[in-house]
Amino acid sequence: MLPVPPILRHWLGPFAAFFTKPTWDRVLVLVTGAVLAPGWRTVTAVLSVLGRRNRMDFARFHGVLNRARWSGRSLARALLRWLVAVFVPDGPVVVGIDETIERRWGPKISARGIYRDPVRSSHGHFVKASGLRWISVMLLVHIAWAGRIWGLPFLTTLAPSERFARQAGRRHKPLADWGRQLLLLASRWLPGRRVIAVADTTYAVIELLAAVRHRLTMVTRLRLDARLFDPPPPHRPGARGRRRVTGQRQPTLVQRLADPASRWRRVVVSQWYGDSRRELDILTGTAVWDHPGRRVPVRWVLVRDVVGDPDPQAFLCTDLEADALGPLGNAGGGTSCAGSSGAGRSR
């Protein structure tokens, strides 16, 4: 039987306090086997690679996952703080949130559902996948020896489908609600640090942005046909009627693309999807993103590829004073677009 390496005990030492002594010894065995096991990292495969498959305490290792009492939330908080201390000791903390499908087909897996396969699907080809849908929050850090940014997951939760909730007699929780809870939890675990969350279109929801914008900065995509308005004008003393919630309607991003008077800025970005350099034109401004009954102030950024992808992309940020170039400013040498002097004016 292979022993647990002493270096692994040292690395995982900060998490020992969250388990009882017998459970912690089994956790070390499971982690060691997970590192060594090829293919599926099931409990059976983990114990087999360590030579423990035929021992009498085989079932006790399964009990670590389905019987032992330990808090995954407490472990996630400790893991996040440990990762931040090692990789991001100062400055803003950038996290990403996304879903992943764990392909499972067992009849006893009650939360299994049918979802779109994000890896095999494309814009014109839809592929379904059967399994469990997990939402993962990860720390995004630049790994020097890898030469790229890695996502280091620290918090994951199961997000069942609406069909499963209906069959189980439970209230279905949309992905935006899960994202709001997870992001607010991550920001609460890092008091005094600025947190920037990066997400895809799934989390471009006004309610989510409005709920988290006072605790963290949210960066996600924006529809090109989004309804954008100026901020409401100051309320005049003695004026009758309700206060206005939005100002004048701004041009849509599609209209700004077609407007020859738009003031585009040319920037050069390195490490663009594996390419060495890529030239982009950017246009930015501030607005109130409004949907009937819901609204949130955002900074929008319109991006178009100079020589490559003909489809422009739009992004938003809940920090109105943010630099549109962000970390790309140093790489591309572009002009900062932070500090726009007025809503609706683009730089």
Structure tokens at 165: 């909730």
Q: Kindly state the average pLDDT of the residues 5-31.
A: 93
Neighbours of 222 (CB within 10 A): 21
DSSP 283: E
Q: Which tokens is 209 given?
A: 């942005």
Lowest mean pLDDT among 33-37, 87-91, 206-210, 266-270: 266-270
Instruction: Convert the pLDDT of each residue in 303-345 to its tens digit.
Output: 998 887 778 999 999 999 988 876 433 333 332 333 333 333 3
Res. 198: pLDDT tops 60: yes
What gap in Å lies between CA 30 and CA 48, rounded to an integer? 11
Average pLDDT over residues 243-270: 90
What digits encode the pLDDT tens for the residues 79-90? 999 999 999 999
Please count the CA atoms within 13 angstroms of the CA of 286 that sit on its side-chain side: 19
Cβ neighbours for 236, distance < 8 A, ≥ 6 positions apart: none
Q: What is the pTM of this model?
A: 0.85
Can you read off the two tokens belonging to residue 237? 């003393």
| Confidence (pLDDT) at 103 | 82
Alpha-carbon gap, residue 240 to 329, rounded angstroms: 47
Q: Give the separation between CA 19 and CA 71, rounded to whole angstroms.
A: 9
Average pLDDT of the residues in 232-252: 85
Q: How far apart are CA 328 and CA 94, in angstroms?
A: 14
**Do 259 and 335 meet the contact criterion of CB atoms below 8 Å apart?**
no
Q: Taking 70 as the threshold, does the pLDDT of residue 230 lie above it?
A: yes
| 71 burial level (CB within 10 Å; 0-12, 13-18, 19+) | exposed
Number of Cα atoms under 13 Å in the Cβ half of residue 134 = 14
| pLDDT confidence bin for 23, thresholds 50/70/90 | very high
Structure tokens at 137: 């929050």
CA distances from 51 to 37, 47, 61, 233 (A): 11, 6, 14, 72
Range with the poorest average pLDDT among 10-24, 220-234, 274-288: 274-288
CB 344 within 8 A of CB 248: yes
